[in-house]
A and B are shown apart, each in its own frame.
Chain A
Amino acid sequence: ELKVEQNPLFLSMQEGKNYTIYCNYSTTSDRLYWYRQDPGKSLESLFVLLSNGAVKQEGRLMASLDTKARLSTLHITAAVHDLSATYFCAVIYYQLTFGKGTKLSVIP
């Protein structure tokens, strides 16, 4: 059974600071997704990471994948309030399995 673990589960950070969210998974996979969910809303796809060493960036968010370590990171640079949301990583192994999510609150 594939297990996907995110940490931290809750993150409160000040505007302007940097931080990293970690996603570990238990079974070999070379495809990892990051989604964002705003309160009361649906899930929005942020990144698809397709191979070892893949790095993708969009604005203040940068995601990377290390398939050997079974680890993905989502790095936040100079956080702003608009980034407050819950971030999920998800891994393909027969089907898409989601982590529990990291609830990010960016405080002015």
Chain B
Amino acid sequence: DAGVIQSPRHEVTEMGQEVTLRCKPISGHNSLFWYRQTMMRGLELLIYFNNNVPIDDSGMPEDRFSAKMPNASFSTLKIQPSEPRDSAVYFCASSPRISTDTQYFGPGTRLTVL
């Protein structure tokens, strides 16, 4: 199994630009999670999906952030417009079931907003 796949691995953009991060979960996993990791705030859950449906987006910092999961094998996290304080590592994780199974993390996308 290829594991959770994220792209791009690194993204450098300028303030005000739109950024789209992509994730392919492990095949057969029904739950998908987006996290953000920074030195100051640690690991934060942004949003999670179960069977492609967003369940809890209370961790999304503001309206500039949006996430979609159009099918079981693909999800996107979009930031529009981006700001320097969005600079972080964004992880996608998937698990077989929503709240009781181990989550498997992707390699992460390191985002730098100048």
Contact = CB atoms under 8 A, between A and B. Distances in A.
Chain B's interface size range is 10 to 19
A95 B91 contact: no
Contacts of A92: 99-100
Contacts of A31: 100
Contacts of A95: 45, 48, 56, 99
Chain A's interface size range is 10 to 19
A76 to B, nearest CB: 21
A5 B99 CA distance: 20
Nearest to B95: A96
Contacts of A18: none
Interface in A33-68: 33, 35, 41-45, 48
Nearest to B42: A100
A32 to B, nearest CB: 11
A43 B99 contact: no
